[in-house]
Amino acid sequence: MNETLNSLHIFHCVAKAKSFRAAAEQLKTSPATVSRRIAELESSLQAQLLVRTTREVYLTDVGEQLFDDTKASMQALFLATKKAANSHDEMAGLVRITATYTIAETVILPLIPQMHVEQPDIRLELMLDESVLDIRDKSIDFAVRVGKLTDPTLIARKIGTDRVSYFCAPSAGSNPPILSYGLPEFEPVPPKLVVKDMRMLLDLLKQGFGAAWLPEMLVAQAKNSGLVRDTNKPSFNFDGYIVYHANRYISRRTRYVMDNIINSQKRLAQDNK
């Protein structure tokens, strides 16, 4: 039903504009997409609705009848959806986010006080997990993840880049025990400890024990305080992304939270230049 309504909306735009290109500009899509959706509507109705000439597009008799019969309903639907989109209720409610503990601590939590001041009716639920949760099977609005996206049903918006370096305790010596997040490619010898929580690894380093690969954003405060030190091992960059459904409606409150995360990381990148 939603596809039919969308196709009817596109049909009305073309009929009013008398142009596929003008309708596409209004709808912020491509003329090819508009043409395809009109063809699909005509196929489903088994009737030609529009005739395109070199100068303009005009309605067939069937198209004119369909336009007249649906004009009032489409106008009412447009007004109702516009009213809903502009409603304050869109900004009130729950936003569910999944992330790792480290991302939540360094990226999301610092933003909550200011977001509460700006939008006090938004509530957050953080579903923290070190594994990648499938947001398609859960009531999750978006995820904050690292690494490239391979699922075509999801959209990824880059939020920034961080650097992972090999840190150790200042008094750890030249060959400290390896503490691992579970990345075997960085472990020349079996690690002393494997734990899927980078905060725990950092805590051990601050207590004077071991060495671990950790993101610089997480370690920055401890490093500046002299509780950990960088080693001479090569570091590497990794990108962070906001990931959300490609075919699911994104509420204004969800977009507000996503934009806050993205903008905060942009400011951080500018400050670090």
- Tell me the pLDDT tens digit for each residue of 129-160: 877 677 766 688 999 988 777 777 788 888 88
* Confidence (pLDDT) at 84: 64
* Confidence (pLDDT) at 126: 92
CA distance 38 to 66: 13
Higher pLDDT pick, 232 / 125: 125
* Confidence (pLDDT) at 108: 92
Amino acid at 52: R
Q: Per-residue confidence at 123, pLDDT binned at 50, 70, 90?
A: very high
Of residues 7, 12, 27, the one with CA closest to residue 70: 12
* Confidence (pLDDT) at 14: 92
CA distance 56 to 47: 20
pLDDT > 60? residue 172: yes
pLDDT > 60? residue 189: yes
Higher pLDDT pick, 190 / 226: 226
pLDDT digits (tens, 9 = 90+) for 208-262: 898 888 888 888 888 888 998 888 787 888 888 899 888 788 888 999 999 999 9
* Confidence (pLDDT) at 272: 61
Residues of the chain with CATH 3.40.190.290: 93-273
* Confidence (pLDDT) at 68: 92
* Confidence (pLDDT) at 1: 45
* Confidence (pLDDT) at 186: 61
**Residues above pLDDT 90, as percent of the chain:** 28
Tokens of 138: 């859960």
**Residues above pLDDT 70, as percent of the chain:** 90
Mean pLDDT score across all residues of the chain? 85
CA distance 150 to 148: 7
Amino acid at 126: L
Cα 130 → chain centroid: 18
pLDDT > 90? residue 81: no
pLDDT > 90? residue 86: no
CA distance 216 to 34: 47
Over range 11-17, report the average pLDDT. 91
Residues of the chain with CATH 1.10.10.10: 2-86
Topology (CATH) of 93-273: D-Maltodextrin-Binding Protein; domain 2 (3.40.190)
* Confidence (pLDDT) at 255: 92
Three-state helix/strand/coil letters over the chain: CHHHHHHHHHHHHHHHHCCHHHHHHHHCCCHHHHHHHHHHHHHHHCCCCEEECCCCEEECHHHHHHHHHHHHHHHHHHHHHHHHHCCHHHHCEEEEEEECHHHHHHHHHHHHHHHHHHCCCEEEEEEECCCCCCCCCCCCCEEEEECCCCCCCEEEEEEEEEEEEEEECCCCCCCCCEEECCCHHHCCCCCCEECCCHHHHHHHHHCCCCEEEEEHHHHHHHHHCCCCEECCCCCEEEEEEEEEECCCCCCHHHHHHHHHHHHHHHHHHHHCC
Neighbouring C-beta atoms of residue 40, cutoff 10 Å: 14
Topology (CATH) of 2-86: Arc Repressor Mutant, subunit A (1.10.10)
